[in-house]
């Protein structure tokens, strides 16, 4: 159980605040206990839920196997879109993919691209169990997500939610800035350790990170990227990213209520672990479903290409195995947005050959042509592959996968968007 410390709200520059928010007053900031390195004891129901989730993750990871190499491209983007969705940033998979390839676009798209990069780094670098995770690692992770901010832990008080821009009316006030370095250092040691059930460790690490709220902005997205670090470090998954944010986004009220329960008095740790474990099961089912949908789609598109070639009299109707058009087609799950330069460089062919392959796929209805505001062609998009990015979100509403039930609602609804604070 943590403790509360009393603080005083006296804004230095109140010119932009309402009269109510300018009013000074006292508020309580919550300081959680340090975690140490060991996973705490939990109740029997929570233990079984975490063990069941770990088994489901292992089965999904084994079933997907080597397909995770290309599947993760879509899963990471689905995860990042959902993680940003929780905080009110709406972006379509197509706009994200175009912005990522062209490195330009609306701010919301570039923000999600940053989240993609951070998630990839969390998996590729921080998941290396041979190296300890440090405070500096967590700072770099957050800076990838919010590059416009100076890197480093916050040096001021922040808060979450509420009806104005004042900690006096906030839903939750994290620990004072003076406590943050100590708590984040403790969290880094907890995330570095791998003993015990990794589902429990990931659940606690994420909730503790959100409770500390160690940065000015980007806390929610950084904390959700950290989940993948814990699961990969502990060898819970090897091949596939589990898109757990797609489940959180499907029932944001339950997710936020679970975080609130984690810091209740007494802490509802078992409730949070159970909800997190069920969310992990749903996410594993979503990943398997996406893998199966991709397999079916890839097969359908080859048939569609052959039918198109046969209709226009091309010979052979089925392209040779080394044909550029087949190579591009095989790339679409991992590279759903293509340009002439990208295809030419990736496959070592001339720009003319790349253009012919892309045009053939577009004429067959497999690729779409995307143009800028002046009508100039800028790229080709695999719209049916990109549509699968939202498969996980859709499946949360209809159920299914390798799970038995939805994550339980853990408490009353809370506002999704922080107001005057930092998610």
DSSP string, 268-321: -HHHHHHHHHHHHHHHHHHHHHHHHHHHHHHHHHHHHHHHHHHHTT-SSSSPPT
- The answer on pLDDT for 399 being more than 60 is no
Alpha carbons 222 and 80: distance in angstroms, whole number = 10
* DSSP single-letter state for residue 348: T
Average pLDDT over residues 116-145: 88
Residues 4-24: b if buried by 16+ CB within 10 A, e if exposed = eeeeebeeeeeeeeeeebeee
By C-alpha distance, which of 347, 332, 344 is closest to 380?
332
The values of phi and psi at residue 7, to 5°, are: -135, 165
Alpha carbons 230 and 190: distance in angstroms, whole number = 10
What's the confidence (pLDDT) of residue 419? 35
- The structure tokens listed for 225 are 């990227």
- With contact defined as beta carbons under 8 Å apart, do 210 and 192 qualify? no
Peptide bond into 316 cis (omega under 30): yes
- The structure tokens listed for 14 are 């109140």
The order of strands in the sheet holding 337-338 is 337-338, 377-381, 368-371
pTM of the model: 0.84
- The answer on pLDDT for 412 being more than 60 is no
Average pLDDT over residues 399-409: 35
Give residue-wise pLDDT tens across range 227-257: 999 999 999 999 888 888 888 888 888 888 9
- The answer on pLDDT for 404 being more than 50 is no
Average pLDDT over residues 64-92: 75
* DSSP single-letter state for residue 34: P
Alpha carbons 412 and 260: distance in angstroms, whole number = 10
- With contact defined as beta carbons under 8 Å apart, do 283 and 276 qualify? no
Average pLDDT over residues 348-375: 92
- 364 φ/ψ sector (left φ>0, alpha ψ -120 to 50, else beta): alpha
Average pLDDT over residues 139-159: 91
- With contact defined as beta carbons under 8 Å apart, do 110 and 95 qualify? no
Give residue-wise pLDDT tens across range 295-313: 999 999 999 999 999 999 9
CA distance between the termini of the chain: 23
Helices (H), 213-243: 219-233
Q: What contacts 24+ positions apart, CB below 8 Å, involve 110-116?
A: 111/84, 111/145, 112/80, 112/81, 112/84, 114/144, 114/145, 114/146, 114/147, 115/80, 115/83, 115/84, 115/145, 115/221, 115/225, 116/76, 116/77, 116/80
Q: Provide, rounded to the nearest whole percent, the portion of the chain with pLDDT above 90.
A: 51
If one compares 413 and 261, the residue with the highest pLDDT of the two is 261
User: Which residues have CB under 8 Å from 36's CB, separation 6+?
Assistant: 186, 189, 190
Strand, coil or helix: 4: strand
Radius of gyration of the chain (CA): 23
Domains of the chain, earliest start first? 31-289 (1.10.3290.10), 292-388 (1.10.10.10)
Q: ∠ CA 211-212-213 to the nearest 5 degrees?
A: 90
Alpha carbons 193 and 201: distance in angstroms, whole number = 9
User: Which residues have CB under 8 Å from 171's CB, separation 6+?
Assistant: 159, 160, 161, 162, 414, 415
Burial of 47 (0-12, 13-18, 19+ CB in 10 A): middle
If one compares 199 and 415, the residue with the highest pLDDT of the two is 199
Peptide bond into 222 cis (omega under 30): no
């Amino acid at each position: 159980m943590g403790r509360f410390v009393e603080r005083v709200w006296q804004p230095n520059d109140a010119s932009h605040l309402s009269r109510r928010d300018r009013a000074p007053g006292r508020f309580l900031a919550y300081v959680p206990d340090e975690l140490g390195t060991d996973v705490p004891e939990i109740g029997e129901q929570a233990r079984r839920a975490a063990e069941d989730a770990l088994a489901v993750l292992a089965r999904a990871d084994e079933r997907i196997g080597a397909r995770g190499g290309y599947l993760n491209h879509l899963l990471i983007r689905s995860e990042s879109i959902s993680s940003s969705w929780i905080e009110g940033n709406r972006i379509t998979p197509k706009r994200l993919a175009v912005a990522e390839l062209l490195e330009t676009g609306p701010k919301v798209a570039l923000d999600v691209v940053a989240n993609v990069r951070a998630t990839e780094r969390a998996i590729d670098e921080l998941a290396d169990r041979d190296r300890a995770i440090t405070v500096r690692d967590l700072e770099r992770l957050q800076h990838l997500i919010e590059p416009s901010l100076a890197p480093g832990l916050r040096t001021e008080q922040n808060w979450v939610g509420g009806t104005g821009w004042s900690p006096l009316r906030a839903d939750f006030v994290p620990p004072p800035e003076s406590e943050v370095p100590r708590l984040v250092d403790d969290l880094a040691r907890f995330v570095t350790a791998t003993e015990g059930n990794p589902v429990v460790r990931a659940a606690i690490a994420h909730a503790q990170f959100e409770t500390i709220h160690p940065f000015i902005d980007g806390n929610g997205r950084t904390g959700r990227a950290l989940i993948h670090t814990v699961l990969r470090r502990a060898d819970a998954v090897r091949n596939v990213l589990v898109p757990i944010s797609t489940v959180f986004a499907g029932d944001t009220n339950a997710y936020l209520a679970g975080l609130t329960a984690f810091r209740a008095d007494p802490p509802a740790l078992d409730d949070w672990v159970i909800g997190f474990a069920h969310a992990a099961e749903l996410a594993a089912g979503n990943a398997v479903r996406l893998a199966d949908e991709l397999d079916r789609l890839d097969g359908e598109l080859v048939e569609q290409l052959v039918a198109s070639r046969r209709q226009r009299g091309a010979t052979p109707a089925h392209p040779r195995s080394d044909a550029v058009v087949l190579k591009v087609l095989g790339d679409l799950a991992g590279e759903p947005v293509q340009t002439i330069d990208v295809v030419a460089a990736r496959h070592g062919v001339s720009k003319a050959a790349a253009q012919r392959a892309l045009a053939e796929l577009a004429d067959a209805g497999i690729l779409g042509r995307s143009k800028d505001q002046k009508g100039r062609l800028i790229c080709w998009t695999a719209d049916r592959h990109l549509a699968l990015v939202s498969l996980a979100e859709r499946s949360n509403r209809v159920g299914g996968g390798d799970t038995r039930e939805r994550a339980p609602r853990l408490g009353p609804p809370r506002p999704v968007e922080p107001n005057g604070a930092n998610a």
